A and B are shown apart, each in its own frame.
Chain A
Amino acid sequence: AQSVSQHNHHVILSEAASLELGCNYSYGGTVNLFWYVQYPGQHLQLLLKYFSGDPLVKGIKGFEAEFIKSKFSFNLRKPSVQWSDTAEYFCAVKDGGATNKLIFGTGTLLAVQP
């Protein structure tokens, strides 16, 4: 069955540190890939998405992610985090046709210390 793994459950960083959050998925066919952010008490908002084309995707607020098909990975990066990036981050995968399910990882809680 299709699955998504986020290896970092809880990350604590100081402001200006670099961030990389891991995401791996299990589906071997065509996929659409997403990173969402959830600020405390709010709903999910899209950070960035990959459908096709350039595997390096740039999103909002300085975030980017790289799709590496051979590694089934879609890691999220940001060169310099801010206190306002404190939130929970979710990776999600939608398979391209078999079931069309949109499956989420368990999330990574990021705390940025000023």
Chain B
Amino acid sequence: NAGVTQTPKFRILKIGQSMTLQCTQDMNHNYMYWYRQDPGMGLKLIYYSVGAGITDKGEVPNGYNVSRSTTEDFPLRLELAAPSQTSVYFCASSYSAGTGYGNTEAFFGQGTRLTVV
């Protein structure tokens, strides 16, 4: 199983450029998440989605956008890159049902290391 796949693994952007971080999962999970990880700060939730067509803001959404047109894909868009967006980005997915039956933990991708210069 591929699990959660993120591309690219590394990227350097110039200030003001835009880019999309790709995330896809093949586990038919309904939940998907985007986090950024900065030293000493843990993982901060940027956006999350509870299913195709439904997204919501997390703790640090400013400067980012997401979409969820399919169950499998959850791309993260940076429109005007800023040095403050230099970070490691992780995508994750999980399954959660109202009954609680079959709920899983979050599975993580390998991460994207982004540097904005």
Contact = CB atoms under 8 A, between A and B. Distances in A.
A44 interface: yes
B98 A97 contact: yes
Contacts of A32: 103
Contacts, number: 54
A100 B43 contact: no
B53 interface: no
Given A102-B33, A103-B59, A46 B45 contact: no
Contact of A102 (B94, B98, B110): B94
A43 B40 contact: no
A97 B45 CA distance: 17
Interface string B36-57: 0000111111001010000010
A58 to B, nearest CB: 15
Contacts of A101: 45, 48, 58
Interface string B82-117: 000000001010101010100101101111000000
5 contacts: A32-B103, A44-B108, A46-B105, A106-B40, A107-B42
Interface of B: 31, 33, 35, 40-45, 48, 50, 56, 58-59, 90, 92, 94, 96, 98, 100, 103, 105-106, 108-111
